[in-house]
Copies of this chain bind each other. A is one copy, B any other.
Amino acid sequence: MGNNVQSAITPKRAEDYPNWYQQVIKASDLAERSPVRGCMVIKPWGYALWENIVRVLDDMFKATGVKNAYFPLFIPLSFLEKEAAHVEGFAKECAVVTHHRLEKGSDGALVPAGALTEPLVVRPTSETIIGDSFSKWISSYRDLPVLINQWANVVRWEMRTRLFLRTSEFLWQEGHTAHATSEEAVERTKQMLDVYAKMAEDYLAMPVIRGSKTAAERFPGAVDTYCIEAMMQDCKAMQAGTSHFLGQNFARASEIRFQTASETEDYVWTTSWGSSTRLIGGVIMTHGDDDGIILPPKIASAHVVLLPIIRKSDDREKVMAYTENLAGQLREIYYHHRKLVVEIDNRDIGGARGWDWIKKGIPLRVEIGPRDIARDSVYVGRRDKAHNEKISLNRDQFVGEISNILDEIQNSLFMRAQKFSKEHTLSFDDRKAFYDFFTPKSSQKPEIHGGFASSPWCGKEACELKIKDELGVTIRCLPFEQENNKDSCICCGKPGIIRAVFAKAY
């Protein structure tokens, strides 16, 4: 790949967004499909991103008093059945374990043997199995609140999968808390949504809208589901985290009772909240350009790559020594609570080397050649700028300023995403304009159009479903921050009760 290449990824976003997404992942080496239906292999560059997300979230959870624990991968069928709406929601996509060994069949091939008396479901989520523990741990108001989080893999058998966005197995965290009062549980539900919003905006540089889900979009078994929704560059919404107020539904199902301070008996009030490797899909689609992904520095797999320029073999020793020395110096610098991660790439593959790192989305590329060394300077390219827009910086200045430069990149990514999101978030009170917004014009690619439409809604599921049927658009959330006008429902024209944000969604 040389300088005459217009973009590193084929197709471009505007040409074929879904295919662009796949090609970006391939080019960046984040992940790949596995031979197991719907499961992905998260490669080191993608897993490092996940590790950084995990560390940030984990610290924020712990700062609110949450402690980590671990519960079984398997859920007995009878547990899942305890909450009617819950089992209804997950029965269609469960991996079911029915046997516990393999045996040679009559033709010599291995077949499942040792049938289980009760089938086990590979957890799609853990409310029921964790509820069972809570029922043993909690007996008095003095035991409350219980604030638990689990980092785990879960399985939901998806028929149509996309790397990171929808896979049969994915990695996530699920928080589960139990409280003495409804108010305290609701407060915790909101608090954890705020944690997700902070993660999205301050670390992933991904602006989000906060709100609650309609009954139709709620977590199966929840009283209320709060969510954060982010806009991708194809103007679709991606749910980036959900926090559920479960009322006493799961406490009843799992018999989690406690003695109150006034010596009566009651069921506890529970919450659950989760975020997953899907966030990586959101990062790709929020920041990626036609040259590949762009990693926000605060969670980047690595911050900077050093590219020694060795044109003559005589230069090799000197250039490599300088490079290694600079790397050592940079690796001692703390950037937002972790040391800078510095890569050195001395492969002799010409211009493809720089392009590889552009496609991998590393925030900074630093070229170091004999002439730079002679001037004690480095030649720096930022991933948020055009690929050929590089500047020469004095080495000391670069070392002294690198944290600020990374913060600048972090901020510029956020500002750019926010601008995009605002431009494509419109208020509609007129039905025709609303329908026009979600109908691609002849000049538009059907997969890139529309955006977020804030419109009044009467609260009836019939209207919600009508719009879904006619436009493929759903209510992403009922935003906490409401505009005043909610006079007439965008669908039926009858009095509205709230403004909803409508969008196509991942």
> Which residues of A line the B interface, CB within 8 A?
32, 34-36, 39-44, 47-48, 50-51, 67-77, 79-81, 87, 91-103, 110-112, 114, 119-122, 129, 132-133, 136, 148, 152-153, 155, 157, 169, 171
Chain B residues whose CB sits within 8 angstroms of the CB of A133 once the complex forms:
32, 34, 41
Chain B residues whose CB sits within 8 angstroms of the CB of A34 once the complex forms:
71-72, 129, 132-133
Known: A34-B129, A171-B70. A121 touches B92 (CB 8 A): no
Considering the chains assembled together, what is the distance between the CA atoms of A39 and B95 in angstroms? 18
- Let me know if A110 and B91 touch, CB within 8 A: yes
Q: Looking across the interface, which residue of chain B has its beta carbon closest to that of A95?
A: B97
Q: Which of A48, A96, A171 has the most CB of B within 10 A?
A: A96
Q: State which of B41, B72, B101 has its C-beta within 8 Å of the C-beta of A157.
A: B101
Considering the chains assembled together, what is the distance between the CA atoms of A74 and B122 in angstroms? 11
- Let me know if B122 and A122 touch, CB within 8 A: yes
Q: Which of A69, A99, A100, A122 has the most CB of B within 10 A?
A: A100
Chain B residues whose CB sits within 8 angstroms of the CB of A76 once the complex forms:
35-36
Considering the chains assembled together, what is the distance between the CA atoms of A67 and B48 in angstroms? 8
- 13 A-B pairs with CB atoms under 8 Å apart are A32-B133, A34-B72, A36-B76, A42-B69, A73-B122, A87-B102, A91-B110, A92-B101, A94-B101, A95-B97, A97-B97, A98-B98, A114-B157
Considering the chains assembled together, what is the distance between the CA atoms of A47 and B71 in angstroms? 10
- Let me know if A100 and B95 touch, CB within 8 A: yes
Q: State which of B75, B98, B148 has its C-beta within 8 Å of the C-beta of A112.
A: B98
What is the distance, in angstroms, from A349's C-beta to the closest C-beta of chain B? 10
Chain B residues whose CB sits within 8 angstroms of the CB of A152 once the complex forms:
153
Considering the chains assembled together, what is the distance between the CA atoms of A495 and B171 in angstroms? 55
What is the distance, in angstroms, from A243's C-beta to the closest C-beta of chain B? 21
Considering the chains assembled together, what is the distance between the CA atoms of A72 and B31 in angstroms? 12
- Let me know if A72 and B36 touch, CB within 8 A: yes
- Let me know if A67 and B44 touch, CB within 8 A: yes
Chain B residues whose CB sits within 8 angstroms of the CB of A111 once the complex forms:
119
Given contacts A39-B72, A96-B102, 6 further A-B contacts (CB under 8 A): A32-B133, A44-B148, A50-B70, A72-B169, A91-B102, A100-B157
Of all A-B residue pairs in the complex, the 8 with the closest CB atoms, nearest first, are: A39-B72, A44-B67, A42-B70, A91-B102, A96-B99, A100-B157, A96-B112, A36-B72
- Let me know if A121 and B100 touch, CB within 8 A: no
Known: A34-B129, A69-B47, A91-B102. A110 touches B81 (CB 8 A): yes
Considering the chains assembled together, what is the distance between the CA atoms of A123 and B51 in angstroms? 22
Known: A36-B75, A119-B112, A120-B36. A91 touches B103 (CB 8 A): yes
What is the distance, in angstroms, from A153's C-beta to the closest C-beta of chain B? 6
- Let me know if B68 and A51 touch, CB within 8 A: yes
- Let me know if B74 and A36 touch, CB within 8 A: yes
What is the distance, in angstroms, from A364's C-beta to the closest C-beta of chain B? 20
- Let me know if B81 and A41 touch, CB within 8 A: no
Q: State which of B92, B97, B171 has its C-beta within 8 Å of the C-beta of A96.
A: B97
Known: A47-B70, A51-B68, A72-B41. A122 touches B110 (CB 8 A): no
What is the distance, in angstroms, from A147's C-beta to the closest C-beta of chain B? 9
Chain B residues whose CB sits within 8 angstroms of the CB of A51 once the complex forms:
68
Chain B residues whose CB sits within 8 angstroms of the CB of A132 once the complex forms:
34-35
Chain B residues whose CB sits within 8 angstroms of the CB of A100 once the complex forms:
93-96, 157
- Let me know if B121 and A73 touch, CB within 8 A: no
Chain B residues whose CB sits within 8 angstroms of the CB of A41 once the complex forms:
69-72, 133
Chain B residues whose CB sits within 8 angstroms of the CB of A155 once the complex forms:
73
Chain B residues whose CB sits within 8 angstroms of the CB of A101 once the complex forms:
91-94, 96, 157
Considering the chains assembled together, what is the distance between the CA atoms of A32 and B98 in angstroms? 24
Considering the chains assembled together, what is the distance between the CA atoms of A79 and B102 in angstroms? 13
Chain B residues whose CB sits within 8 angstroms of the CB of A73 once the complex forms:
39, 122, 153, 155, 169
- Let me know if A68 and B91 touch, CB within 8 A: no
- Let me know if A87 and B110 touch, CB within 8 A: yes
Chain B residues whose CB sits within 8 angstroms of the CB of A68 once the complex forms:
44, 47-48, 51
Considering the chains assembled together, what is the distance between the CA atoms of A178 and B119 in angstroms? 38
Considering the chains assembled together, what is the distance between the CA atoms of A133 and B47 in angstroms? 15
Known: A91-B101, A99-B98, A153-B153. A77 touches B110 (CB 8 A): yes
Q: Looking across the interface, which residue of chain B has its beta carbon closest to that of A51?
A: B68
What is the distance, in angstroms, from A231's C-beta to the closest C-beta of chain B? 28
- Let me know if B98 and A96 touch, CB within 8 A: yes
